[in-house]
Amino acid sequence: MRNMKRRNRLLAAGCAAALSLYGATAAARAQDAPAGDAVNGKRVYLATGCFECHGRSGQGGAYNGPAPILAKTPLPFEAFKGQMRSPSNDMPAYSEKVMPDQQLADIYAFLQALPGARRVQDISILR
């Protein structure tokens, strides 16, 4: 498969750009994550206000600075969970009490299911 070859080459090179190769790396990451229900994840994402800072489609936004893009996040599940439990900076923390691990898995599944950004090469006007 062409995509596989390309992915292996990029991973071997340890190239940071590989992180933004959405489709190819998403599959590998998703295998490490606990099973999540993307439909419930969307519900929780909207009900608990993630969207207010990160956008309804996980496109990113602002809160005292940039609130990162979450659609197809390249973060492995454990790093995602780490940010949720003890955020690196201004984001509010979500304890196990207010957001159990299963809800985190659901949100993660929802984020991986979002279409995310298109590659520049795929947008004809930018070619």
Write out the residues near ligand HEC by the rule CB under 6 A. Answer: 48-50, 52-54, 63, 67-68, 70, 73, 75, 80, 83, 87-92, 94, 107
79: nearest Cα among 4, 9, 19 = 19
Query: Looking at residue 62, what DSSP letter applies?
Result: E
Residue with smaller CB distance to ligand HEC, 40 or 48:
48
Residue with smaller CB distance to ligand HEC, 27 or 46:
46
Give the DSSP H/E element, type plus range, for residue 15: none
- Mark 6-32 as b/e (b = at least 16 C-beta within 10 Å): ebeebeeeeeeebeebbeebbeebbee
Structure tokens that stand for 27 in this block: 């599959």
Q: How far is the CB of 41 from ligand HEC (least distance, A)?
A: 9
Q: How far is the CB of 27 from ligand HEC (least distance, A)?
A: 19
Q: How far is the CB of 127 from ligand HEC (least distance, A)?
A: 28
Q: How far is the CB of 48 from ligand HEC (least distance, A)?
A: 5
